[in-house]
Every structure is written in structure tokens, then in C-alpha cells.
Chain A
Amino acid sequence: MRDRHALLHRKITVFGSTYRLEETLWSYILLMPSILVFSVFTFMPVIYSAWLSLHRWNLMDPTTAFVGISNYISTLGSPDFRQAFWNTLYYSLGTIPAGTVLALVIAILLNQKIGGLSFYRTVYFLPVVTSMVAVSAVWMWIYHPTYGPLNSLLDVLGLAPQKWLRDPKLAMACIIAMSIWKGLGYNIVIFLAGLQNIPAHLYEAAQVDGAGKWDCFRYVTLPMLSPTVLFILIMAVIGSFQVFTQVHVMTQGGPLGSTTVLVYYLYQKAFQRLEMGYASATAYILFICIFCLTIAQLKLSRKRVHYL
């Protein structure tokens, strides 16, 4: 008993800092579940995935062969991959600018102290919490060429009906419109939090100087909100490069590959054709894309984002 006590009260020194042995032991006991889960399902897989990406590795075929970077080269050279890349870029450019500007406008309107804020916020936030699968099902029915309300609206307006999700030229636009609707409330809520953090005295000072509404927006709101804008853009780019569920439910990448985005391409390679090595290389390329885009945004924004 006394030995145990003495042991636990011992001090240990690591890299010049002294710690209590008992506290250290307890810390690692408390952290153990998380360390285990992260090691097995995140840290190890990141390395395993890198290893896989350098091999020919098919789940159905036991022969594994080291192939160097040829998985990367054949991914980058594949016309299907390139189409998936452009489709993803199309999706990003379709959803991000429109989704961000719309959300900013609505957030500014909501911030005018006109009453009913929490009611409106609930309404706009509803799609965010709803499952993507259920929402996709509803929108498939809205886009339905014969029985959907969208075509009957066109009919009322005297316009020709469209095939929407079944038209290679329109399918991606349909997914973009639905995705903007789904994500809008999230951006609004983040913008609202940003707007509410802008000190009122800045507006008062601007008004004393004779600034109008537009000047207030241009020279107070926008600069003060720039960190929020940057945050939303970074999250949106990351999210848009990972879009999958709505594509898998609504179009399965079609028609004619027009909605095959990067993650859908990866999914097909990995879980339909079971080419795990090739698909791991694709996953790493995706990772590198996201990483570079995030760094680029942080770099480009350095001069334009104002922190308090």
C-alpha cells in the first residue's frame, strides 16, 4: 500500500518539464478510448490509404503489386476522372457564389430588427436538419417531368416542359438548385452571428460622418464580416468537393455522366469495381485538391480579411 502511494506521487520529467506520475497515468486512462478509436479508424487508415494508393489492390483479386505513382497518373489521365473534376467544379461554382450572396442578403434583412427573427430563422433552417435522402426524394418528385409541380408551373406560364433530372444539360443545375436550398439556412445562421458581433458604435460613427446605407454596408458591414465570409467560403468549398448523397439518390451520376462528381467517381471505383488501390489514389487527389484550395483561400484573403 505504501509502495503504491510512493509510486503514484513520484514525479517524471519529459523534455525538461516535470509531471506528476499519477496525473499522467490518469490522463492517459481518460484519453484511452479516444486514442484507440482515432488510431484504428483515422491515423492508421490515412497511412494505409497512402500505401494502398501505391499498389494495385483489388478486393476480389488476392495479388497485390507495387505500382508506384501509376494509380495517380492513370487517375489524372482518365477522361472519366476529368469529367468528374469539371462536374465538381461546376457544382462548386453553381452553389457557392449564389448560396453565399443569397444567405448574406437574407441575414442582413433578418438583422434589421423587424421582428419575427426566430420564426424566420426556423423556417430557413428547416432544410439544414432534414436528411439529404428524404429531401432528395421530395425534389425528385418536384422535378418529375409528368407529375411534378415545376413543369405544371411552366405550363401555367406558357413555357415548354423540361425533363429536369433526365436531361444531361439540366441535371446538374437541378442538383445545384436543390443544394442551395438545403444549405442556405446554415450560411444564414453563421452570417447572423457575424452580423450581431459588429459593434453598434461603428455604425453610429459612420452615420455621424454622413454615411448612407450603402456606405455603411460597404465600409462597415463588409469589412467587419470578412472573417465570417472567409469561413463560409472555406467550409463551402470543402463541402462542395465532397458532394455525394444527393447525386447518389437523385441521378446516380447520370444522365450520360453529367452529374458524376469526384466522390461519386471514387465510390464507383472503390465499391462497385472494388479497385481499392486506384480509388485510394483518387481519394488522395481529392484530399490534395481540398487542401490546396483551402490554403489558396487563406493566402488570397490575407489582404482582404479584417480582424478586429
Chain B
Amino acid sequence: MTLGMGILIAFVACGTALILRPPTDSIFSFKGVEIHFLNQRRSFYPSVLLGKLFENKVSVYYSHYLTNISYGLDPNFYFFASHPRERVGFSEYQRLPLWLFPLFLFGIFKLLAKGQYLLVVYFLTSLAIISFFVPFDKYAFILYPFFILSSFTWLFD
């Protein structure tokens, strides 16, 4: 029930966001320099087959996707403007106030300890969906409710 509800809310939220703010790009787009790196890396392998197995379009898509996932799972992205690992070409800013961080840690622990997984399911599903789109930052706001609600839900118990 929780799983279904979480996924449904996430799909609705992400769908609405994608309609209102249509994506400019996705993880499936290739930059010219990436094609160059792909070909260069293929030449490092002892055989053409191995080169194609390890360095191909899917591995590039996968790498793009993981990069977005990593931003979404990074607490520094939300609370410290990505410090100390600021990203090249991004304008970094603090997305959530720092004082919320200890409340969030406490709150999420309390929620999980009580077996309430709705917010976690929402967060993971939303993250899995928005990580397909580039730039990730454009849709990161979808994830803020997870942090804010987790921080305060325990107050109402």
C-alpha cells in the first residue's frame, strides 16, 4: 500500500513538473567530445569486441544517469551548495537551510524506525524518474518535500 502510494505520488509530481517545465535534454543525448572519448577508450582494449562491450552508448547513458543519481543522493547538494565538490559549469546555491539538516537526520531515522516508508518511496521513485533528465537541477525541487516533511513529521506523533 505504502509502496504503491509513494510511487503514485512521485509519478504525479514528476509528471506535473515535466509538463510545466519541459525538459531541454536527457541522459540519452551525446556531446561531440563524448564520442571522441568513447572512440579513444575503445582503442585501449586488447580486442575490438572487449572495447565495444565496455565502451558503448549504453555505458555513456548509464554514466549520465549515475551522475544525476549521485547529485540527488548528496546531502551537500541540498544543504551546502555542493561544497566541497562544486560542479564545473553549474551555478551552485544552497537549496535547503542548514538548520534543517539535523532535524532531517533525526526525522528520517524516526520514520524508518517506525516502518513508515512512504516518503522514502516517494524520494527514491522521484529520483529514479528525474535522473533521466538533464540538467538535474531543474527538477531537483521535486525532492525537497522529502527533506522538509521528514524533518517535521515526527513532531506530530
Chains A and B form a bound pair: no
Q: Residues of A at under 8 Å CB distance from B?
A: none
